Amino acid sequence: MIRTLAVAGLLLVASPGHGLGVRDMIGRDVALAGPPARIVSLVPSVTEIVFALGAEDRLVGVTDFCDYPPAARRKPRVGGMLAPSLEVITSLRPDLVVATTEGSREETVAQLQRLGIPVYLVAAHRLADVWDVIARLGALTGREAAAGHLVAGLRARVRAVEQAVAAGSRPRVLYVLWPEPLIVPGRESLVTELIGIAGGRSISASEGTDYPRFALEAAVARAPEVILLANHSASTGGIDRERWRGLTSVPAIRDGRLHAVNGDLLHRYGPRIVDGLEQLARAIHPEAFR
Amino acid sequence: MSPGARLVAVLGVLALVLLLVGAAALFVGSAALSPGAVLAALTGRTGARSIESVVTLSIRLPRIAVAALAGGALAVAGVAFQALTRNPLAEPSVLGVSGGAAFGVVIGQSVGLGFGVLGAAGLTAFAFAGAVVAAGAVYLVAGAGRLSVQTLLLAGVIVGLFFASAITVVISFVDVNRLGGVIHWLLGNLATIPPASLGLFALTAAAGLALVLPHARELNLLALGEEAAQQLGVDAERLKLQIFAGAALLTASVVAFAGPIGFVGLIVPHALRLLLGPDNRLLVPAAFVGGGIFLLAADTVARSIVAPAELSVGVITSFCGAPFFVWLLRTRYRALL
């Protein structure tokens, strides 16, 4: 972890006469006039991290989907992730926009750059990347120490989960990102890694890419022992459990191991991802948390 | 009034309206600039990197240009397809030609064509190929030769549905992180595009217009029927090929730069026919300016009605176009069906 922070710190090297040069998470060089003081976040996870670091005074704009912490709702909004308003972003006079390779459109990034606004891209496919995002945002906002504490605390909680489930079996888990069409976490998904840490084996762990579509009968054939249904905010309402209850041949259904988990925790890579991990571990290994 | 004077008068009035709508659009947007600030930016009284001049000159102005150009191109494509098929309800989206062009663009995107002027040129080429294939398919499905109004529309619907399915096949293999972008484009969105791409868009649209505009008089003769037109000295086959290429190019350029935006080619030509009559010599240039007015107005609504979020302009044109289509069908063209 200390190494991660040191690397992030090294990336903030002053280039002579031209303020700061930093490199973002996909290796793009981003030229900054100085330490960013007016940041627009186009990523809900980034918004959560900036608040968790206590750097929210530097956040001048967020997306419509930045709903956590509640105070984020009071920041000026720039529209959705797919088509944020260039006008609103420009009028907020940001010295840095943070976007993602997963959800922001490349056009948006290109348009902002054309307007002379530096764009920093983040992405997280592994838990280690989450620590990296936190460290990088800490370095960008001058909150390195807070980032260090935050990551250390989160990692300690991850270790506690690992220890709690270490002795147990590793049940087969079907994680349902979206029920219809059935979308599951694949090989490159952070959720797949989290299921492993929580003491389960995702039945879709070897599927291609990050979020593949998956045939229901393939899911049934792999006989999951636990089924986890992710819910998505309040906007999509409750989870339809009924359509799963009919699959009585599936061990998870037979044993009543159909659980809801909070997708907002598990699909974002903010500090709350560890809350999500703990929720996963409790669902997969209830016996370890009695 | 002589036809020439009438043309000048009509184009003058339409150009004035376009200018007024364009000017009004410069003052509307989610950045909530005061009219004074916009004026200051326009007259160069603000710094080049000030919010006022970036929003006004680098965000709003290029988008207004794209809207006017795309609307004009689609409206002329509508007039051209209507004359070509002698079917008053023909239009790029109704005929499935936009769908074919969209399929071309999706294929282009999935083989990695992206941004920059080269990417845009490649996507335009793919869109043109898709538009030609779709229009050819409509022609074959409807049965070459004398096309009845219903058969042609039905063929257009079938081809459109086919390409819509083909697009879904392609996008089910698109990386989930790019899916949102592809769907956003499929809804038909005008965006601020870089100057080089805007130049390319203007060139392709101009090329399409150049294929149609000089033949407006012959299109009038074609309306009498192909044999009659031949007897009056029109090389009907050659004319049809040129008009077809022009309309496909106009459609393809818009689809490549803004996505499939429906019904502009229906609404604008018909509104203008009500005002000006059926003479294509007047209608083709008037449609180019009138289409610009309509799409510009629609896009200004789209980008301000749910600010700071934006609606897709394709949604607005479809909401206007679908009822308009029904109205045309039930009133003016009842006898044709």
Q: Does A93 touch chain B (CB under 8 A)?
A: yes
Is B20 a domain residue? no
**Residues 154-213 (A) with a CB less than 8 A from some CB of B:** 209-211, 213
- Sequence letter at residue A138: G
The helix/strand count (H/E) of chain B reads as: 15, 0
Q: Do A209 and B309 touch (CB under 8 A)?
A: no
> Min CA distance, A50 vs chain B (Å)?
22
**Which residues are paired to A99 by β-bridges?**
A121
Q: Is A115 on the interface with B (CB under 8 A)?
A: yes
Contact state of B189 with A93 under an 8 Å Cβ cutoff: no
C-alpha B70/C-alpha A284 separation (Å) is 55
Higher pLDDT, B30 or B161: B161
Q: In angstroms, rounded to a whole number, what is the distance separating the alpha carbons of residues A24 and A45?
A: 16
Q: CA-to-CA distance for B229 and A164, rounded, in angstroms?
A: 87
ipTM, two decimals: 0.71
Q: Cβ distance B33 to B61 under 8 Å?
A: no
The least confident of A12-21, A134-143, B111-120, B138-147 is A12-21
Nearest chain A residue to B116 by CA distance is: A110
Residue A77 in contact with partner chain B when CB distance is under 8 A: yes
> What is the secondary structure of B222-236 as a DSSP string?
HTT-HHHHHHTT--H
Taking the model in full, what pTM does it have?
Answer: 0.81
With CB atoms and an 8 Å threshold, state whether A101 touches B177: yes
Question: Which uninterrupted H or E stretch holds A286?
Answer: none
Residue B19 is inside which H or E element, if any?
helix B3-26
As a whole number of angstroms, the longest Cα–Cα distance in chain A is 68
Residue B241 lies in a domain: yes
Using DSSP, state whether B107 is helix, strand or coil. Answer: helix
Q: What is the pLDDT of residues B172-218, one digit of tens each?
A: 877 766 777 788 888 888 887 888 899 999 999 999 999 999 999 99
CATH number at residue B306: 1.10.3470.10
Instruction: Kindly report the average pLDDT of chain B as a whole number.
Output: 89
| A79 in contact with chain B, both atoms CB, cutoff 8 A | yes
CB-CB under 8 Å, B176 with A210: yes
Question: pLDDT tens for residues B278-316?
Answer: 999 999 999 999 999 999 999 999 988 887 778 889 999
Q: What are phi and psi of A21, to 5 degrees?
A: -110, 125
Strand ranges inside chain B, DSSP E: none
pLDDT, tens only, B84-101: 888 888 999 999 999 999
Work out whether the CA dihedral B50, B53, B56, B60 comes out positive or negative: negative
Do residues B200 and B117 touch, judged by C-beta distance below 8 A? yes
Of B59, B115, B310, the CB nearest to A79: B310
Contact across the interface for B192 and A209, Cβ inside 8 Å: no
User: Per the structure, how many domains does chain B have?
Assistant: 1
d(CA B33, CA B38): 7
Instruction: Please judge whether B310 and A87 are an interchain contact, meaning their C-beta atoms are less than 8 angstroms apart.
Output: no
- Whether B287 maps to a domain, the answer reads yes
CA–CA dist B205, B23 (Å, integer): 22
Q: In Å, how far is A207's CA from the nearest CA of chain B?
A: 14
Q: Which domain holds residue B78?
A: 26-83+90-336
8 Å CB contact of A79 and B308: yes
Specify if B10 maps to a domain: no
Provide the 3-class DSSP secondary structure of residue A117.
Answer: coil
CB B284 within 8 A of CB B246: no
> Per the CB < 8 Å rule, is B191 touching A111?
yes
Query: Is B172 a member of any domain?
Result: yes
Q: Give me the residue from A82, A86, A106 closest to B192, CB to CB.
A: A86
Mapping DSSP to helix (H, G, I), strand (E, B) and coil, where does residue B27 land? coil
Interface residues on B facing A, Cβ-Cβ cutoff 8 A = 29-33, 49, 51, 54-55, 58-60, 114-115, 172, 175-177, 180-181, 184, 189, 191-192, 194, 303, 307-310
B12 within some domain: no
- Which domains, ranges and CATH numbers included, belong to chain A? 2-150 (3.40.50.1980), 168-289 (3.40.50.1980)
Tell me whether residue B37 is in a domain. Answer: yes
Tens digit of pLDDT per residue, chain A (290 long)? 444 444 444 444 444 444 678 999 999 999 998 899 999 999 999 999 999 999 999 999 999 999 999 999 999 999 888 889 999 999 999 999 999 988 888 889 999 998 999 999 999 989 999 999 999 999 999 999 999 999 999 999 999 999 999 998 999 999 998 877 788 999 889 999 999 999 999 999 988 777 888 888 888 889 999 999 998 764 444 556 777 777 888 899 889 899 989 988 999 999 999 999 999 999 999 999 87
